[in-house]
Amino acid sequence: MYIMLFRVHSFTYILSRDQSVHCLIHRLVDFVGKLTLVNVYYGFVWVGSYTIYTVHQ
């Protein structure tokens, strides 16, 4: 009986922890995604300006 209760408790605990971790992962992915987009954008801008600069030299 105690083992059963413990199992249910640990299972719900893992679930709740997993949910918060899931939320954290979502935030992290969102953050990394935005960061990557910004990096790619600035990379393109930098490459573009650099190419224009070298072409005009």
Span 27-42, pLDDT tens digits: 888 898 898 988 899 9
Does the structure show a pLDDT above 60 at 51?
yes
Q: Given this model, what pLDDT does residue 23 score?
A: 78
Q: For residues 48 and 40, what is the distance between their CA atoms, to the nearest angstrom?
A: 12
Q: Does 15 reside within a domain?
A: no
Q: Given this model, what pLDDT does residue 45 score?
A: 92
Q: Which pTM value belongs to this model?
A: 0.47
Q: Does 34 reside within a domain?
A: yes
Q: For residues 10 and 27, what is the distance between their CA atoms, to the nearest angstrom?
A: 25
Number of domains in the chain: 1
Q: For residues 48 and 44, what is the distance between their CA atoms, to the nearest angstrom?
A: 6
Print the domain residue range for 24: 20-57
Q: Does 50 reside within a domain?
A: yes
| 19 or 3: which leads in pLDDT | 19
Q: Does 3 reside within a domain?
A: no
Q: Name the residue with tokens 């939320």.
A: 23
pLDDT in tens, 10-27: 666 666 666 777 778 788
Rg of the chain in Å (alpha carbons): 24
